[in-house]
Amino acid sequence: MAGLATYSEIESTLQKRIMIFDGGMGTMIQNLRLEEEDFCGDRFKDHSKPLKGNNDLLSLTKPESIYEIHKAYLEAGADFIETNTFSGTSIAQADYALEHVVYELNYESAKIAKRAARDVSNATGVKRYVAGSVGPTNKTLSVSPSVEKPEYRNITFDELVTSYSEQVRGLLDGGADVLLVETIFDTANAKAGLFAIQVVLDDEKYAPLRGIPIFVSGTIVDKSGRTLSGQTGEAFVVSVSHAKPMCLGLNCALGAVEMRPFIEVIGNFTDRYVICYPNAGLPNTFGGYDETPQTTAKYLAEFAASGLVNIVGGCCGTTPEHIRAIANAVKIHKPRVPPHDPHKGCLLLSGLEPAIISSLTNFVNIGERCNVAGSRRFARLIQNGKYESALDVARSQVEMGAQILDINMDEGMLDGGVVMPKFINLIGSEPDVSKVPLCIDSSNFNIVVAGLKTTQGKCIVNSISLKEGEEDFVEKAKLILRFGAAVVVMAFDEEGQATSSEDKVRICTRSYRILVDQVGFNPNDIIFDPNILTIGTGMEEHNEYAIHFINATRIIKQTLPGCRISGGLSNLSFSFRGMETIREAMHSVFLFHAITAGMDMGIVNAGNLPVYDDIPADLLKLCEDLIWNKDPDATEKLLKYAQDYGKSGSKSVESEEWRSWEVEERLQHSLVKGIDKYVIEDTKECQQNTVRYPRALNVIEGPLMKGMGVVGDLFGAGKMFLPQVIKSARVMKKAVGYLIPIMEEEKKLRYKEMEKMGMECVEEDRFAGTVVMATVKGDVHDIGKNIVGVVLGCNNYRVIDLGVMTPCDKILQTALENKADIIGLSGLITPSLSEMIHVAKEMERQDMKIPLLIGGATTSRTHTAVKISPRYNQPTIHVLDASKSVVVISSLLNDDLRMEYLDEIKEEYEEVRMDHYDSLLERKFLSLEQTRNKKLMIDWTTSGITEPTFLGNKVYHEYHIEKLLQYIDWKPFFDVWQLRGKYPNRGYPKIFKDKTVGEEALRVFNDAQVMLRKIIDEDLYQMEGVVSFFPANSVGDDIHVYADDVMPRPTTPLAVFYGLRQQAEKEWESVEPYYCLSDFIAPRVSGVRDYIGMFAVSCFGARELCKQYEDNMDDYSSIMAKAVADRLAEAFAEALHELVRTTLWPYSSNEQLEAGDLHKIKYQGIRPAPGYPSQPDHTEKLTMWDVMKVEETIGTKLTGSLAMDPPASVSGLYFANEKATYFAVGKICEDQVADYASRKGCTKAEIEEWLSPILSYDS
């Protein structure tokens, strides 16, 4: 079968079910207990080296044994078997001196596997596939085998490509259906393997196989979540995704339990299908594996139930029994649905860690100092062979905030093709440097290629252009794409360099169309450099170069979607070389305007840039005039400015002027400017002013936090850049570091005072609560978190700070071990937001109850409310800054304040979510078929179903009102009177303490008590209710109700409750299903007996009492009588529901809840009502009234508009399943309306009339 056809066939199956991989080939071979002669056979009995342990060779010497192993896995349920070629390269076989049989070995291995797959396919009627195993080899491109020579490698990229190519040809010729690049401990090796696959497929012989499915599986070596060569899972995904693998995933090294957080990370980060085949647990003392098939299957079934995987299998220690158990365990679960374009509009790069550049990312700084053409010091170090010192330059760039590192070795006396890989290899030995992506910068394309062959991450190539013509451009672009790099395209063509806006746009547009349409580049991987050219040269034709760049940038970003804009900033001010202050001011002003126009990144020493707002007004005007060509004499005026203030152009007289300011202003200036010279002196001055700052903590909460607030505002406005923010953070850290010992002494003094007063100070009792804090994985910024920790510590909280780059499992484990009251997550960079979502989802999966606080520069209330809070059912709150943390935590840990505070947050975040979705220009919807495929899945074979104690009706006449008083929820009563207290005095009875409405609230409440007493004493109201239970099962989105509890269920039901399903597209990170009420009832096809309940309650007598008051012109009492009747009806519904759960349908017979817990729905089961969010169709009441005979039994009627009469009535359905939850159907689409109308036997127009408020279209 041709490659594309195989791809399509497998994808069709993957969309329907979870597919199964085989288990450990090595495990099964070990079980054969083979000896040297078995491995050698007749053919190799005189071989020069021992061959025992060369498992791949058995495909030639014991082919039937390999066939039987394949067959055993297939018969156990495997859809895929791997060829016995894990070490089938000339590199690995060199250990056995068998390089000469590598092609044959792979060819025969594939043929054996193909025969087994064909035989079992024919026997079972289920298609099986052969995955050609391409292992990692026993050498690595990214790690030196010599500690003394970190730049040394014992293999080259080209050698790996040659070796892998031979293996791939053998596998394809032998009939492999899939190519599996697996057990990747070094991504650079895998990139060589993927490169080799494309080289082989370029051969016309293999043209029919182009498009063959490629599976890529990495290996996380321990709980750090990194490969052996240091990459995180996300960086690994970024680095190999250019090959467009069908599946991405993990195998080996870990058992399923340990692998779970990492496979979840992979799945969240890719739109590819996810494959996972772990070991049978971790190895025991003797290197064996003890995990039973049932245990491995249980863990992988949990993966499947959580929607994490598309293909599962086993690696080391697994056997056909394991695979059989896994196949049986996952078959009931739906496959993972890959997120659609999870990084839409993002440029993805990677070093050891991912770099995600999105529309939310501030200006990206490309470090410029590792450039022999731009840094005399760096060039000197490289030329003199002082590579360790040159590496220090790179380290300094990253520490100063460079998010990408530019490497350029273009110097006449250097062999760039040798020096470039050597320096990149050295960088690879330094994780603190190699964590960021590289920019391989050279005008010599051979040097670029040498750099690409040495880089395991996804880097940027700087640059190519149309200067040598289109053919050359396309050839280079194709090679860059094959290496998986992004590319900088200069605005050059055959006619030369573009200088005007029009030429810049024309050349970039032409380049874009070639790259996207001909070469197949992802637009997000294209970075244009429209040429920042020198201004202020004295030549009139140069005066508008800055304007041309800015205008071209704006047009390019508007017309070429997905691309980025970069540039080398130093060119702009080249005329003023030697005048650094003027140059830096020009750069800052230019960047401010260019970034506004759409410039995304630049090669710039941003740590030395002044803040735009801090440039002296006269210099700022001169720079603005020069850049915007407003003054023909701007160049002369700038030169004069430099002469007036020295060659550097800096005003030495003014440099210390700020030292005369108030101390608070001096601290702010130090923070904004990143000046640490005087910060301790100024902090000490504040701290010693005990009148203004009684405690050292007050200095942090006051002037220091205010200064950092200014820094944050400038950063958000694009007037400061990340390196400058990092310098500010270091100043802050120094100030806080000075204050910490003082605060510790203050704390000791307070304890001593407490002891003098006879107050016991037991260490564990000293703390108001325990807070676990961490900067999430992928982020190294911690100053804000550290300040929060200091503030909390000074307010008597025990703070456990886990530092930076903290994996999710470490955060949660620490919280559980230390019985934390709060978990706080921090992050500065945009990728941190995704990691926070992951932590929230993991906390929900582990059923944690600890409140989650979110903070950091990139976080926001909106992101927390929309993206994070819905992932975790416990309090999830955004904390603006350190000063707010104490208020939030104290509110959460105070039993008297907690619920009121959470109610406030819940309402606030719900409004934020509504505003967010309302602001979307176009809310996306899924088709009805898509949502049904994403419905709630319940394993009905294990879901315990309780039978009701009776079937049919139970009527309650004149229920005693006295029994209902404890169930009354008074909050809605105050809403009737438009009385709303403010936190912390919102709910009943705290509303009485509210300064604004408390007195009036108490008055109406007391009046209500008087009226209640009157109603009870004079028997003015009668409470009537009916409860019913019936056998039921779901059929699609509907619930069929049956008269008799017989199995199988009759084909004609007693009645049908029709359901509506959510269609508004959820956030891609969400694993929440698309709900319909029918999801909570066992399907008829399951053969499981299930039941549904329903009820209706009413308060009679209110109409007559109200009329009496109205006849006496007493409107106040009339409104009060209606309000009390409504409260009694709701209380009756609550009381009956409790009776149902504990007695009548005792699925929660041990329940013991206070009234407040009942009002907050802290129980199993729901009672949704027609006409409300879970089923907005009021006409469903007609079915309820008919089945329960409501009007005949208790007298409650339905009006023409289907309102209940009397108005003080409540009705609904009872659902008992533990997964049943309230939800809002939300807006629905025309396809569902038509389907719903057809099922109900109504016209579409009739349904549209009843459902008009929730239609997503104009009817």
SS (H, E, C) 779-842: CCCCHHHHHHHHHHHHCCCEEEECCCCECHHHHHHHHHHCCCCEEEEECCCCHHHHHHHHHHHH
Give the Cα separation of 812 and 848 in Å (integer). Answer: 9
Q: Residue 1102's Cα: distance from chain center in Å?
A: 53
Give the Cα separation of 2 and 493 in Å (integer). Answer: 40
Q: Which of 465, 588, 826, 832 is catalytic?
A: 832
DSSP states along 60-76: HH-HHHHHHHHHHHHHT
Strand-pair category, 1022-1035 with 1090-1100: antiparallel
943: tokens are: 């879901």
**Burial classification of residue 31, based on how many CB atoms lie within 10 Å of its CB (0-12 exposed, 13-18 middle, 19 or more buried):** exposed
Give the Cα separation of 728 and 713 in Å (integer). Answer: 13
Let me know if 885 is a catalytic residue.
no
Let me know if 100 is a catalytic residue.
no
Let me know if 832 is a catalytic residue.
yes
User: Residue holding tokens 């340990």?
Assistant: 258
Give the Cα separation of 1017 and 1014 in Å (integer). Answer: 5
Give the Cα separation of 424 and 1074 in Å (integer). Answer: 49
Give the Cα separation of 1190 and 1188 in Å (integer). Answer: 5
User: Residue holding tokens 């409140």?
Assistant: 851
449: tokens are: 């290629």
Contact criterion met (CB below 8 Å) for 859 and 827: yes
Nearest to 824 by CA among 746, 772, 900: 772
The Cα-based distances of 649 to 72, 575, 612, 641, 1062 in angstroms read 80, 14, 16, 7, 64
> Among positive and negative, which fits the CA dihedral 1182, 1184, 1187, 1192?
negative
Q: Which of 177, 682, 779, 1235 is catalytic?
A: 779
Q: Which of 548, 781, 863, 1137 is catalytic?
A: 781
SS (H, E, C) 658-718: HHHCCHHHHHHHHHHHCCCCCHHHHHHHHHHCCCCCCCHHHHHHHHHHHHHHHHHHHHHCC
Please give the DSSP secondary-structure letter assigned to residue 1255: B
Contact criterion met (CB below 8 Å) for 711 and 728: yes
Q: Which residues pair with 1024 in a beta bridge?
A: 1098
**Burial classification of residue 464, based on how many CB atoms lie within 10 Å of its CB (0-12 exposed, 13-18 middle, 19 or more buried):** buried
Q: ∠ at Cα 288 (286, 293), nearest 5°?
A: 150
The Cα-based distances of 633 to 185, 374, 543, 1229 in angstroms read 61, 30, 11, 64
Strands of the sheet with 460-464, listed across from one edge = 564-565, 526-529, 486-490, 460-464, 438-441, 404-408, 364-367, 601-603
Residues in the chain, total: 1259
> Among positive and negative, which fits the CA dihedral 1144, 1147, 1153, 1157?
negative
Q: What are the E-state strand segments in 476-625?
A: 486-490, 492-493, 496-497, 526-529, 564-565, 601-603
C-alpha dihedral (280, 283, 285, 287), degrees to nearest 10: 100
Give the Cα separation of 229 and 1115 in Å (integer). Answer: 79
Nearest to 787 by CA among 851, 709, 674: 709
Residues designated as active site: 779, 781, 832
